[in-house]
């Protein structure tokens, strides 16, 4: 009997993995290269990877030929490798996050199945992959998705490792956790080790498991962590003495504590973003958390796994809520544990538990779907967009799919929970892809249309200038450095340590070059363009093309 069970068990693992690869792979990779780079983040990180691939300097990151030390180097290595392998195109630079996102879902499946059961593992992977924020970041050139996957791998490996008896399997899990934490550090800095230490430490204190510290193989884990993280930090510091203060002090400690340096938002900023970011599964999260909590302090040991997942989500959420710098993707690392908790709750619902709570959740989901549909309609019919007709077609169709599918899900929730959950997955899958297909029609910030107009006529000796700002995606599309008028921002630190006078220019130099015999192209906002024409009505200013927000002008017809 046992001889037959073992092959069947392996077969179910491979069947599940193939299923997830097809379903989530399609969700993450379909239309991956169809949308222009989202600015500023995608333009910035794609350009750094491009410059690294073209220059062959894999130690010092550069943005528009200026040293850029705000983040570590691992993501740029991966992006440069993707460009070398797949060519310089949007699909290549985005494929890194799509692959890592798929890997993160497989990690979640593996962990959910090992901790609980097969159903929970499958649901957790699908919930994570179809959560709105995870899906969006999967298809963006950004550091938040990779660091989320590496942090999840760290904490998953720890949680699975401590449940193994002393021996080689436990060592492999814990060494893997150390390596994943090191990769997280090389992706986005010290949070890669701060978060795991903070979460694991809080869990040990809460559980009173101090004896566990002796069984974590800390010396060998520390050695693995240092072997991975130290070399690049040492080499880049030796080549760039200014690196350590800016990277460790300003970008880590001062950015967290001073709102003048980062992106300031109020303390409640992440609450609405979590609601939208964990859509559609947010409607089941309160019930899932309530069912995961122990009934009293003395029974907490019977909820060790659930408390670890809750601490994981709560501590990261609180950490960023009190930070002076906040951006929406910062809370992405809280989604994997929430996916596991929600999956566990829904899996129990399939076993005829908590069905009233699930049905209430579906009623709430119908309300959310109707609100989203209304927002889509108002936005696409009233906003000034690059292609209003296409925007209405894609987004109103997506809204109809969302509302119809959610109504079907709610109908099934009162009859067959399994069918309701399947209908929710299918609806979300279709809804997200339709929204993604319509994104080019509403992207008012992309400079790609003007870049496409400029590329056929641009010659090596021509000068390209961005007027009073820096369009992060323009160098990537043009595959060359651009000159920047009256703008510094994130490039200001690098400018202090290298000579950039040739391409970081002021008004005086701008007009000298404008009146020279050299052909000059300028990308400028429409507002700035109108002001420029009014201030200088006699100067030769030729409009070549424009979008709803920007214009391309030249000093020659």
Range of the domain at 391: 356-441
Q: Is residue 422 part of a domain?
A: yes
CA pair distance 241, 247, nearest whole angstrom: 11
| 392 and 480 assigned to the same domain | no
CA distances from 406 to 122, 180, 276 (A): 21, 38, 16
CA distances from 487 to 121, 123, 176, 491, 495 (A): 49, 48, 44, 8, 11
Q: Which helix (H) or strand (E) holds 51?
A: helix 41-55
| 429 and 452 assigned to the same domain | no
**Long-range contact list for 225-230, CB < 8 A, 24+ apart?**
225/178, 225/179, 225/181, 225/182, 225/185, 225/193, 226/182, 227/182, 228/179, 228/182, 228/183, 228/186, 229/182, 229/185, 229/186
User: If DSSP codes are grouped into helix, strand and coil, which group holds residue 143?
Assistant: coil
Q: Is residue 458 part of a domain?
A: yes
**Which pair of structure tokens corresponds to residue 550?**
């920007």
Q: Is residue 89 part of a domain?
A: yes
pLDDT tens digits for 262-310?
677 888 999 999 999 999 999 999 999 999 998 887 778 888 999 999 9
Work out the end-to-end distance of the chain between its first and last CA atoms, rounded to an integer number of angstroms.
83
User: If DSSP codes are grouped into helix, strand and coil, which group holds residue 545?
Assistant: strand
From 399, 424, 441, give the residue that closes a domain. 441
CA pair distance 414, 172, nearest whole angstrom: 45
| 250 and 373 assigned to the same domain | no
CA pair distance 130, 124, nearest whole angstrom: 10
CA-based nearest residue to 151, from 112, 110, 179 = 179
Per-residue pLDDT of the chain (557 residues; tens, 9 = 90+): 344 555 677 889 999 999 999 999 999 999 999 999 999 999 999 999 999 999 999 999 999 999 999 999 999 999 999 999 999 999 999 999 999 999 999 999 999 999 999 999 999 999 999 999 999 999 999 999 999 999 999 999 999 999 998 889 999 999 999 999 999 999 999 999 999 999 999 999 999 888 888 889 999 999 999 999 999 999 999 999 999 888 888 887 777 776 656 677 888 999 999 999 999 999 999 999 999 998 887 778 888 999 999 999 999 999 999 988 788 999 999 999 999 999 999 999 888 777 889 999 999 999 999 999 999 999 999 999 999 999 999 999 999 999 999 999 999 999 999 999 999 999 999 999 999 999 999 999 999 999 999 999 999 999 999 999 999 999 999 999 999 999 988 888 888 889 999 999 999 999 999 999 999 999 999 999 999 999 999 899 999 999 999 999 999 98
* Per-residue buried b or exposed e for 208-222, using 16+ beta carbons within 10 Å of the residue's own CB: eeeeeeeebbeeebe
From 420, 441, 462, give the residue that closes a domain. 441
**Which pair of structure tokens corresponds to residue 399?**
């809204």
Q: Is residue 319 part of a domain?
A: no
Q: Which helix (H) or strand (E) holds 8?
A: helix 2-29
Instruction: Give phi and psi for 250, each to the nearest 5.
Output: -75, -45
Q: Are 408 and 2 in contact (CB under 8 A)?
A: no
CA pair distance 439, 448, nearest whole angstrom: 13
| 394 and 541 assigned to the same domain | no
CA distances from 82 to 185, 201, 480 (A): 21, 37, 19
| 227 and 336 assigned to the same domain | yes
Q: How many CB atoms lie within 10 A of CB 131?
A: 27
pLDDT tens digits for 40-57?
999 999 999 999 999 999
Place of tokens 């009256």: 486
Instruction: Give phi and psi for 551, each to the nearest 5.
Output: -135, 155
* Per-residue buried b or exposed e for 90-124, using 16+ beta carbons within 10 Å of the residue's own CB: bebbbbbbbbbbbebbbbbbbbbbebbebbbbbbb
Q: How many CB atoms lie within 10 A of CB 125?
A: 31
| 383 and 523 assigned to the same domain | no
| 24 and 107 assigned to the same domain | yes
CA distances from 151 to 101, 446, 448, 489 (A): 12, 31, 34, 30
CA pair distance 339, 136, nearest whole angstrom: 16
Q: Which helix (H) or strand (E) holds 553?
A: strand 550-554
According to DSSP H, which parts of 62-164 are helical?
74-86, 90-115, 118-129, 132-138, 144-161
| 214 and 107 assigned to the same domain | yes
| 364 and 241 assigned to the same domain | no
Q: Specify the number of domains making up the chain.
A: 3
From 318, 349, 380, give the residue that closes a domain. 349
Biggest CA–CA distance in the chain, Å, is 92
| 370 and 512 assigned to the same domain | no
Q: Helix 90-115 vs helix 144-161: angle between axes, to the nearest 10 degrees?
A: 20
Q: Is residue 525 part of a domain?
A: yes
| 120 and 11 assigned to the same domain | yes
**Which pair of structure tokens corresponds to residue 454?**
């400029």
| 189 and 229 assigned to the same domain | yes
Q: Is residue 493 part of a domain?
A: yes
């Amino acid at each position: 009997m046992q001889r037959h069970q073992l092959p069947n068990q392996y077969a179910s693992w491979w069947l599940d993995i193939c299923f997830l690869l097809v379903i989530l792979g399609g969700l993450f990779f379909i239309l991956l290269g169809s949308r222009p780079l989202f600015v500023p983040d995608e333009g910035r990180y794609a350009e750094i990877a491009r410059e690294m691939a073209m220059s062959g300097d894999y130690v010092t990151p550069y943005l528009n030929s200026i040293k850029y030390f705000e983040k570590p180097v691992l993501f740029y290595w991966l992006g440069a490798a993707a460009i070398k392998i797949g060519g310089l195109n949007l699909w290549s630079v985005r494929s890194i996050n799509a692959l890592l996102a798929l890997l993160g879902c497989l990690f979640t499946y593996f962990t959910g199945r090992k901790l609980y059961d097969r159903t929970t593992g499958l649901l957790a992977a699908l919930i994570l992959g179809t959560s709105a924020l995870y899906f969006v970041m999967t298809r963006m050139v950004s550091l938040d998705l990779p660091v989320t996957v590496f942090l999840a791998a760290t904490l998953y490996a720890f949680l699975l490792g401590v449940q193994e008896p002393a021996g080689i399997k436990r060592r492999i899990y814990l060494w893997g956790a150390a390596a994943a934490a090191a990769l997280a550090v090389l992706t986005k800095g010290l949070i890669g080790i701060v978060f795991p230490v903070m979460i694991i430490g809080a869990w040990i204190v809460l559980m009173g498991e101090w004896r566990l510290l002796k069984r974590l193989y800390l010396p060998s884990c520390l050695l693995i962590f240092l072997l991975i993280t130290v070399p690049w930090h040492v080499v880049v510091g030796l080549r760039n003495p200014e690196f350590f203060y800016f990277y460790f002090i300003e970008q880590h400690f001062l950015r967290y504590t001073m709102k003048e340096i980062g992106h300031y938002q109020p303390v409640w900023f992440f609450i609405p973003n979590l609601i939208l970011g964990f859509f559609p599964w947010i409607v089941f999260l309160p019930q899932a958390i309530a069912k995961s909590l122990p009934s009293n302090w003395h029974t907490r040991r019977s909820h060790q796994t659930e408390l670890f997942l809750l601490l994981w989500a709560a501590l990261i959420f609180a950490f960023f809520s009190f930070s002076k710098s906040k951006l929406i993707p910062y809370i992405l690392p809280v989604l994997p544990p929430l996916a596991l908790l929600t999956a566990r709750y829904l899996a129990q619902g399939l076993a005829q538990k908590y069905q009233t709570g699930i049905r209430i959740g579906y009623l709430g989901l119908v309300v959310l779907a109707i609100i989203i549909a209304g927002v889509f309609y108002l936005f696409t019919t009233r906003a000034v967009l690059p292609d209003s007709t296409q925007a209405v077609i894609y987004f109103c169709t997506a809204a109809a799919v969302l509302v119809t599918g959610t109504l079907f899900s709610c109908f099934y929730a009162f009859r067959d929970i399994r069918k309701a959950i399947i209908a929710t997955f299918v609806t979300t899958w279709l809804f997200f892809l339709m929204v993604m297909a319509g994104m080019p029609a509403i992207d008012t910030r992309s400079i790609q249309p003007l870049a496409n107009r400029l590329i056929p006529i641009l010659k090596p000796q021509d000068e390209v200038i961005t007027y009073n700002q820096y369009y992060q995606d323009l160098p990537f599309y043009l595959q060359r450095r651009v000159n920047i008028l009256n703008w510094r921002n994130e490039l200001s630190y690098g400018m202090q340590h290298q000579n950039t006078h040739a391409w970081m220019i002021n008004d005086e130099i701008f007009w000298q070059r404008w009146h020279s015999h050299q052909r000059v192209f300028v990308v400028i906002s429409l507002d700035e363009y109108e002001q420029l024409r009014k201030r200088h009505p006699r100067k030769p200013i030729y409009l070549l093309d424009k979008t709803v927000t920007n214009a391309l002008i030249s000093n020659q017809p």
